Structure formats: structure tokens, C-alpha cells
């Protein structure tokens, strides 16, 4: 396995193979298997473009050969920052076939995150979309290149001084297949200790995830998956997402976003059967549905990534007529979900059962021992598609994984008597902003560089739409004067947000509100009491003055 990754112990790997989870299947083949007999069927729709199975397969092969000629070698890393465009898929398949490892950045990432990802992964190349939705990614690439050594910047669009992805092609040829036990690509963790950790997913483990999620949701060759979330997210990439749909021989429809006008139109036009949404988008769809003359009842709605409010959940079946599956998932592996057809009282309060009968799940107390049945505790897990360690993160791994390979998720859950999991909260310091994860530590590090900020603590505050939003509690640099108000001469929210943007921080990480204090409350062990700060911020939001 790639140096810097933690392999499964040999006996577990052997067991997962024996049980048929790991089948030696390389991800570059996920679409290949569906091609014979389907050459002329449409595999991919994006705007006005329609691609047949044969076309996607051929372009991926030619691109793989071209990338090899460019000098990319098996095991190399490439930071891929592409939105939902066909090149995301052709490039991913090409890289998988070549054994080169994509590091999937989100389209929202900016210089700060991209530089880190390039450095952390020692990337040889960075792939961007040109101009997309008003943002010039070539400009970002120039900025990144000033500080990071990259052999190639490749543009899926007008390349300017860089390489055009469309020009990277060569006659298809046989390339040595990568070892299916090795890493195929990297996803990003939500990140609890500053910048995101890299999550190495292997061909074997992810191919299993694709097969099992497709089977679990009944995805087959008649299915049409609408990718409304960014495909760089695990949810839309492989649960079963675009890759699982290909494996099953179905159609993938790429959307620029989940806005109802675009998504409803695509659902009607392409007879979409499955899509993935985060909870805030579900509410948007419910509120917009009466304005559109569209029947979405044939769609299975896969909802997860953040808490789904019960009052929203209960409206789905009556108002949209959709079948629902409620998910708990993480890029690190473990997936739990309710199965289509289960009644509301199972689907909405819980996120169902683990995907695999060999997913091992324990709910433990702070001493690491299992809590009594039905009690709340931390979810710890291991299994055939859950990583045993982050990439190049020895210290963090020592804290997050036990020597026996159990992953401490930082999520607080309980199990119902039927074995369904209910998410109750978390102990990790992450803000779940409508499904997008924000690491307070990362934002705090940036804000501390502001001359007007002496100290800062970023906390989550409940929000009706997003579930949670972020509040930066600031001790202003000028806060020493005993008579002064805590907010006097302090930077405003707008200033802090501009400051973060200028430092190249993704927009979804910017604080939604700011509050000032002269001193942080502390816990008995002397840590900043974030729970108390969150409570005070919530009071401020609801108009109650903080004491
Ligand atoms: P990510 O790897 O970005 O998908 O984030 C995984 C994290 O999202 C989990 O560890 C949970 O904290 C959170 N999460 C995922 N699904 C749910 C859900 N259904 N309800 C509440 N939190 C969730």
C-alpha cells in the first residue's frame, strides 16, 4: 500500500476477500463492464451534452494513455478540483485506470485549501475547470503555483498558458492494472484539528461500497442518477452516486446544483430515479414543488450528511410523493441507511442500519467501554470499507484509531432495540453547516492572523435552514481597556469575512455571525468552554442579551 497509508491487517484483508467484499476489482473498470451490448446507450448527460457508454469509455482510455505520455506514473497524486462536468468522470476513470490517485478538492475550495492539499499529497498536477460560475480557476492555479511546486496545471476548458485536458490524449493502449488493494483516490475529512485530513480509499473497498449501495437502493441499468451535489463529495461520488450508477449500467445526469428549477427540469426530462440531497435542500424542494408542474414521485430521495429535522422529514412523502432513504455517512467509510419502503417511524428518527453485516459498530462511553443498550455514546467502528488511518497523519491516527483498528467517529449516537442508529450529537469540534463540514480550528487559525483579533473561538449555533451555522467569538486586540465595550474598535463581521476570503479560505467556512467578549469562559480542566459560548451565541441570535 502507498507509503503513509495504514493497511488493514493481513487477516482482516483475507477475511474481507474470503467473504466476497473485496473482489480484486479496479475502479477504472466500473464503467467498462457496462459497455458490451450498451455501446450506444446514453451513459452521461450534462447540459446539452449526451455521452454514450462507448464514448465515456473510449475517452477515458485515450486520456489515460495521454496522461501516461505526459509522465504521470502509477502512485502519483493529482489534485482534481472539477465541478459536475463530464471531465470529472472521464478524468477520474482515466486516473483510476492509470493507477494515479486523484485528491478530490471541492469546487468551493480556494488557495488556502488547495495549497495545503497539493503540499500534503505531494501532487504532481492540479486540474481545474477554467472559468466556472463566474470564478476563474486559472487565476487560482497561478496563485497556488507561486507557492507550490507542480509539474502540470491542466484545465478542463480554455487553458490560457496551461495544458488543455482535451489535448491530453493518445491512442488507447494496454496499461498495467493497478493493484486493487492499493489506494485509488483520496477524499477529504471534515477536519477536526485544522485542515482536512486525506482519506485514502482503495479500489477494493470502494468497489464494494459501490456494489453494496447500488444493491441496497435497487440501482440497475434502468436507473437514472441525478448528481445535484458536487460529485467530489463521497455522497454523490459513490453511495452509489455516479460511480455506483456506472457499475450498475445506469444513466448519470450531472446538474450544476440542486436548485429546484434546474433539478426538477432534469428529473422530468431524464426520468431520474435517484438523487442525493442534504437536509437544507430538502426544505427548498418542498417549498418550491407547488410552483412547478413536475412529478417527482418516481424519485428515491437519499438524504443525509446532517440532521434532518422531523418537521421537514414528515412533509416529504405527502407533498412530493417520493420514497425516502435516510443516511448517515462519512468519507472515512461506514454508511448506515434506512431501506426503501420502511415506514416513517423508522426512516425519520433514525438513519437505519449499517450497510454491511460485517460492519462492526460499538457505542462507547468516555472510558471506551460499551454503554448500556439504548444509551447515548460515541460511535466507533471498523469494517471492510472503513479506513484504518488517514494519510500521513501518524499522531492524529494514534488518537483517532485504537490499536485494534476501531475508528472513533466523534459522533454521538444510540441504537434502537431494532438496531437502527439515531444520531444524537457529536463530541468532535466540527460545525456541520447544512452538510458542509467546517473545522473551527482551521477558521480560528486564520482569524488569529487578523491584527484586530487577540483571541477567537468559533462555535456552531442552531439554524433553522442550515441546521447549524458558525459564530466567531472574538476578543478584540483593543479589549484591554477595562471601561471599553468588548466590541469597541473590534473588526466587524464583514471585515473578518473579507479577511478570510483574501487569505484564500472557502466561502462556506466564513463565520455567519460574530460576537465579542473580553474573556472566554473555561471548563474545569481549563479549556475554552465552547458549549457555553455556543449557548451564549444562540441567546444572542434569538435576541436575548448575553450576560
Ligand atoms: P463527511 O465525511 O463530510 O460526509 O462527514 C461525515 C460526518 O457528517 C459524520 O461523522 C457526522 O458527523 C455527519 N453526518 C453524516 N450523516 C449525518 C446524519 N444523517 N445526521 C447527522 N450527522 C450526520
The answer to whether the CB of 234 falls within 8 A of the CB of 204 is no
Tell me how far apart the alpha carbons of residues 500 and 511 are, in angstroms, rounded to a whole number. Answer: 9
CA torsion sign, 448 to 451 to 454 to 456?
negative
pLDDT tens, the chain, 547 aa long: 999 999 999 999 999 999 999 999 999 999 999 999 999 999 999 999 999 999 999 999 999 999 999 999 999 999 999 999 999 999 999 999 999 999 999 999 999 999 999 999 999 999 999 999 999 999 999 999 999 999 999 999 999 999 999 999 999 999 999 999 999 999 999 866 678 999 999 999 999 999 999 999 999 999 999 999 999 999 999 999 999 999 999 999 999 999 999 999 999 999 999 999 999 999 999 999 999 988 999 999 999 999 898 889 999 999 999 999 999 999 999 999 999 888 888 888 899 999 999 999 999 999 999 999 999 999 999 999 999 999 999 999 999 999 999 999 999 999 999 999 999 999 999 999 999 999 999 999 999 999 999 999 999 999 988 999 999 999 999 876 656 666 667 899 999 999 999 999 999 999 999 999 999 999 988 899 999 999 999 988 775 443 3
Q: What are phi and psi of 435, to 5 degrees?
A: 110, -25
Residue 155 · residue 162 · CB < 8 Å: yes
Answer yes or no: is the C-beta of 439 below 6 A from any ligand 1 atom: no
Question: Separation of 409 CA from ligand 1 center, angstroms?
Answer: 10
For the record, the C-alpha cell of 115 comes out as 495549497
Task: Please report the pLDDT score of residue 495 as a whole number.
Answer: 97
- Establish whether residue 432 lines the binding site of ligand 1, counting it when its CB lies within 6 angstroms of any ligand atom: yes
Q: Residue 437 C-alpha to ligand 1 middle, in angstroms?
A: 8
From CA 236, how far away is CA 92, in angstroms rounded? 14
CA distance 366 to 331: 24
User: Could you state, in order of their start, the residue ranges of all structural domains in the chain?
Assistant: 53-178, 430-539
Element (H, E) at 69: helix 53-70
Question: What's the rounded Cα separation, in Å, for the pair 305 and 67?
Answer: 34
Instruction: Indicate which residue's Cα is closest to atom 22 of ligand 1.
Output: 306
390 lines ligand 1 (CB under 6 A): no
Q: What is the DSSP letter of 401?
A: B
What count of Cα atoms within 13 Å lies in the side-chain half-sphere of residue 338? 25
Atom of ligand 1 nearest to the CA of 426: 12
Q: Is 437 in the pocket of ligand 1 (CB under 6 A)?
A: yes
Q: Report the C-alpha gap between 437 and 190 in whole angstroms.
A: 5
Determine if ligand 1 sits within 6 Å of the CB of residue 56: no
- Kindly report the backbone phi and psi dihedral angles of residue 514, in degrees, each rounded to the nearest multiple of 5, phi listed first: -130, 145
Q: Which residues pair with 42 in a beta bridge?
A: 52
**Cβ–ligand 1 contact at 400 (below 6 Å):** no
Q: Give the whole-angstrom CA distance, residue 137 versus residue 416.
A: 47
Q: Is the CB of 433 under 6 A from ligand 1?
A: no
Mutate to test the pocket of ligand 1, among 186, 233, 306 (most ligand atoms within 8 A of CB): 306
Taking the model in full, what pTM does it have? 0.95
Separation of 157 CA from ligand 1 center, angstroms?
Answer: 33
Residue 327 alpha carbon to ligand 1 centre in Å: 9
Q: In what order do the strands lie in the sheet with 125-128?
A: 163-164, 152-155, 125-128, 77-80, 101-104, 183-188, 198-202
Query: Which residue has cell 480542566?
Result: 525
Q: Which residue has the least CA distance to atom 4 on ligand 1?
A: 330
- Specify the pLDDT at position 546: 39
| 53-178: in CATH 3.40.50.980 | yes
Give the Cα separation of 139 and 135 in Å (integer): 9
Fold of the domain spanning 430-539: GMP Synthetase; Chain A, domain 3 (3.30.300)
Are the C-beta atoms of residues 189 and 197 closer than 8 Å to each other?
yes
Residue matched to cell numbers 466540527: 430
- What is the position in ligand 1's atom list of the atom closest to the CA of 437? 3
451 vs 397: CA distance, rounded Å: 34
The Cα–Cα gap between 284 and 90 comes to: 31
Three-state secondary-structure class, residue 128: strand
331 Cα nearest atom in ligand 1: 2
| Nearest residue by C-alpha to atom 10 in ligand 1 | 330
Q: How far is the CA of 329 from the centre of ligand 1 (A)?
A: 5
The CA distance from 428 to 423, in Å, is 13
CA dist., res. 500 & res. 423, Å (int): 32
What is the full DSSP assignment across 491-529?
PPHHHHHHHHHHTT--GGGS-SEEEE-SS--B-TTSSB-
Q: What is the DSSP string of 221-240?
A: TT-EEEE-S-TTSHHHHHSS
305 lines ligand 1 (CB under 6 A): yes
Mutation choice for ligand 1 from 309, 336, 411, CB with most ligand atoms inside 8 A? 411
Ligand 1 center to residue 492 CA distance, Å? Answer: 31
Residues 66-71: contacts with CB under 8 Å, at least 24 apart:
66/167, 66/168, 66/169, 66/170, 67/94, 67/95, 67/98, 67/100, 67/168, 68/98, 68/170, 68/175, 69/170, 70/152, 70/163, 70/168, 71/151
233 lines ligand 1 (CB under 6 A): no
Residue 16 backbone dihedrals phi, psi, to 5 degrees? -65, -30
Mutate to test the pocket of ligand 1, among 330, 378, 379, 386 (most ligand atoms within 8 A of CB): 330
Q: Is 202 in the pocket of ligand 1 (CB under 6 A)?
A: no
* Ligand 1 atom 3, closest CA: 190
Nearest CA to ligand 1 atom 7: 330
Give 469's strand partners: 461
Ligand 1 atom nearest residue 187's Cα: 2
Ligand 1 contacts CB of residue 211 (under 6 A): no
The CA distance from 361 to 147, in Å, is: 43
**What per-residue confidence (pLDDT) applies to 344?**
84
- Does the CB atom of residue 497 touch ligand 1 within 6 A? no
**Same fold? 53-178, 430-539:** no
Does residue 423 line the site of ligand 1, with CB under 6 A? yes
Contact 426 CB / ligand 1 (< 6 Å): yes
pLDDT at 468: 94
* 124 alpha carbon, distance to own chain's centre: 23
Q: Could you write out the three-class secondary structure of 428-443?
A: CCCEEECCEEECHHHH
Amino acid at each position: 500500500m502507498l507509503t503513509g497509508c495504514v493497511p488493514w491487517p493481513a487477516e482482516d484483508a483475507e477475511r474481507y476477500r474470503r467473504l466476497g467484499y473485496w473482489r480484486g476489482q479496479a475502479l477504472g473498470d466500473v464503467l467498462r463492464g457496462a459497455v458490451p451490448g450498451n455501446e450506444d446507450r446514453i451513459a452521461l448527460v450534462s447540459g446539452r451534452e449526451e455521452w454514450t457508454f462507448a464514448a465515456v469509455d473510449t475517452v477515458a482510455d485515450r486520456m489515460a494513455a495521454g496522461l501516461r505520455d505526459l509522465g504521470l506514473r502509477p502512485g502519483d497524486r493529482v489534485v482534481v478540483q472539477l465541478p459536475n462536468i463530464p471531465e470529472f468522470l472521464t478524468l477520474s476513470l482515466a486516473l483510476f485506470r492509470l493507477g494515479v490517485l486523484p485528491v478530490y478538492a471541492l469546487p468551493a475550495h480556494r488557495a488556502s485549501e488547495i495549497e495545503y492539499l497539493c503540499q500534503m499529497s505531494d501532487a504532481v498536477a492540479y486540474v481545474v475547470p477554467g472559468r466556472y460560475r463566474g470564478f476563474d480557476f486559472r487565476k487560482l492555479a497561478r496563485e497556488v503555483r507561486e507557492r507550490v511546486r507542480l509539474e502540470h496545471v491542466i484545465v478542463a476548458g480554455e487553458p490560457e498558458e496551461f495544458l488543455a485536458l482535451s489535448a491530453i490524449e493518445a491512442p488507447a493502449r494496454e496499461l498495467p492494472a493497478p493493484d486493487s488493494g492499493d489506494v485509488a483516490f483520496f477524499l477529504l475529512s471534515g477536519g477536526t484539528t485544522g485542515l482536512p485530513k486525506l482519506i485514502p480509499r482503495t479500489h477494493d473497498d470502494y468497489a464494494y461500497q459501490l456494489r453494496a449501495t447500488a444493491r441496497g437502493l435497487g440501482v440497475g441499468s434502468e436507473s437514472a442518477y441525478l448528481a445535484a451535489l458536487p460529485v467530489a463529495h463521497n455522497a454523490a461520488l459513490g453511495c452509489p452516486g455516479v460511480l455506483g450508477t456506472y457499475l450498475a449500467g445506469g444513466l448519470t445526469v450531472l446538474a450544476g446544483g440542486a436548485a429546484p428549477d434546474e433539478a426538477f427540469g432534469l428529473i422530468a426530462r431524464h426520468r431520474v430515479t435517484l438523487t442525493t440531497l442534504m437536509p437544507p435542500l430538502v426544505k427548498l424542494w418542498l417549498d418550491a414543488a407547488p410552483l412547478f408542474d413536475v412529478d417527482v414521485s418516481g424519485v428515491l430521495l437519499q438524504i443525509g450528511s446532517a440532521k434532518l429535522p422531523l418537521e421537514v422529514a414528515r412533509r416529504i412523502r405527502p407533498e412530493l410523493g417520493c420514497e425516502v432513504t435516510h443516511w448517515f455517512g462519512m468519507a472515512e467509510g461506514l454508511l448506515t441507511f434506512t431501506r426503501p419502503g420502511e415506514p416513517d417511524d423508522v426512516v425519520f428518527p433514525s438513519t437505519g442500519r449499517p450497510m454491511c453485516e460485517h460492519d462492526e459498530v460499538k457505542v462507547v462511553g468516555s472510558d471506551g467501554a460499551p454503554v448500556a443498550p439504548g444509551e447515548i455514546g460515541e460511535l466507533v467502528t471498523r469494517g471492510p470499507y472503513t479506513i484504518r488511518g488517514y494519510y500521513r497523519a501518524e499522531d492524529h491516527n494514534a488518537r483517532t484509531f485504537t490499536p485494534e483498528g476501531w475508528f472513533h467517529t466523534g459522533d454521538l449516537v444510540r441504537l434502537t432495540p431494532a438496531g437502527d442508529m439515531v444520531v444524537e450529537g457529536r463530541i468532535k469540534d466540527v460545525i456541520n453547516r447544512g452538510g458542509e463540514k467546517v473545522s473551527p480550528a482551521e477558521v480560528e487559525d486564520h482569524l488569529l492572523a487578523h491584527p484586530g483579533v487577540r483571541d477567537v473561538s468559533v462555535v456552531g449555533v442552531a439554524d433553522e435552514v442550515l441546521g447549524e451555522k458558525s459564530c466567531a467569538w472574538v476578543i478584540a486586540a483593543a479589549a484591554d481597556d477595562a471601561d471599553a465595550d468588548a466590541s469597541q474598535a473590534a473588526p466587524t463581521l464583514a471585515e473578518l469575512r473579507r479577511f478570510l476570503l483574501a487569505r484564500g479560505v472557502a466561502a462556506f467556512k466564513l463565520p455567519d455571525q460574530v460576537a465579542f467578549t473580553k474573556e472566554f469562559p473555561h471548563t474545569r480542566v481549563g479549556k475554552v468552554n465552547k458549549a457555553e459560548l455556543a449557548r451564549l451565541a444562540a441567546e444572542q441570535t434569538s435576541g436575548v442579551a448575553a450576560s
